Amino acid sequence: MKVLIIRFSSIGDIVLTTPVVRCLKQQHPEVKVHYLTKAAFQPILAHNPYIDKIHLFSDDLNAAIEELKTEDFDFVIDLHKNLRTTKVKRALDVPSDAYPKLNIQKWLLTNFKLDMMPDKSIVERYFEPAAEIKVHNDGKGLDHFTPESAKLSNDDIPMGHWGGYVGCVIGGSFNTKKLPVEQWKKFCATVPYPVILLGGPEDREEGQLIAEQDLIKIYNSCGKFNLNESAELVKHALVIVSNDTGLMHIAAAYQKPIISLWGNTSPEMGMFPYYGFNNLKDRIAPQSVIIENKSLGCHPCSKIGYNKCPKKHFKCMNDLDMNLVSEKVVKQWNIAVSHNKQSSNTGN
């Protein structure tokens, strides 16, 4: 049997599909697992041992479809569900199913603040089309695999950070999902631990503005490392503080303690840090702390994001209490240090 999984983008969304990939391969080892995604996101999946073949496209989806037609798939799991994935499925003309996107429920939440969303992770929704071929969630969470070439040494970060650091993910696909620079400055001034700022080349300038207040305590890694190298920095952080963005989900794949900061989006949409067993209301993971301004009548205002706040005040991020964030980090740091000591004492 040969199965095609489709998810075109983006980093976090693709990481959130990895439990389906793993469970499909482990529960049905005879199945050949193929994955279709955009070429830009190939590094996220390139080293996943549960995928037999990755199909990539940039602008020309038609060329990818012609290649896919030669594979003779038996089933397609559509985890993106848009016009282009419909085009792929029609061209392949094999049995398929797609996850429930719940666009109406998201529209009600962002436009009328009516929360009709299920209290569960989008991962659980991703498993719904896989159920047709008898794939179920094993509860082991997300996966992210990096190549040996991405491994970092102490020489890649300042000596003052060798004993442990807080990883701060300052980037985001939209400005309204990003904590402002002044807020990051407040946090870095109050948190009593070394900090590494994480982001891409586009975040380098803002990272420098944050780091320049204390270049010993704060290391700006933005733009210095590729995605998988940044994932290694996430992996070795004691605590992660993050906007709603891809590295947050990679941190969850590594089971890291995460303090997530929510601007115009909301965890109610199912994109909160997922550790394999936690839903939003009843079983939120003990290592996950959600910081969200729920007092605003305009929040959430988008399922994706904007370049600037539609109301022009951006209170969802500007009013977040950075002292509270620092307190949550201290608590999670102490838990992580205690856990690491126990692991060392038991030889694990």
The pLDDT of residue 67 is above 90: yes
pLDDT tens sequence across 14-48: 999 999 999 999 999 999 999 999 999 999 999 99
Instruction: For the full predicted model, state whether its pTM sits above 0.85.
Output: yes
Where do the domains of the chain lie? 2-133, 158-346
pLDDT of residue 347: 67
What's the mean per-residue pLDDT of the chain? 97
340 — pLDDT class (breaks 50, 70, 90): confident
CATH class, domain 2-133, is: alpha beta
The stretch 142-152 carries a mean pLDDT of 97
Q: Which two tokens stand for residue 108?
A: 């009600």
Q: Taking the mean position of all CA atoms in its chain, how far away is CA 324? A: 23
Mark out the alpha helices in the chain (DSSP H runs).
11-27, 42-45, 61-69, 83-92, 103-112, 122-130, 181-190, 204-211, 227-236, 246-253, 315-318, 322-346
The stretch 116-122 carries a mean pLDDT of 96
Helix axes 246-253, 11-27, angle to 10 degrees: 30
The pLDDT of residue 142 is above 90: yes
The pLDDT of residue 342 is above 90: no
158-346 has the same fold as 2-133: yes
Neighbours of 345 (CB within 10 A): 8
pLDDT tens sequence across 161-177: 999 999 999 999 999 99
CATH class, domain 158-346, is: alpha beta
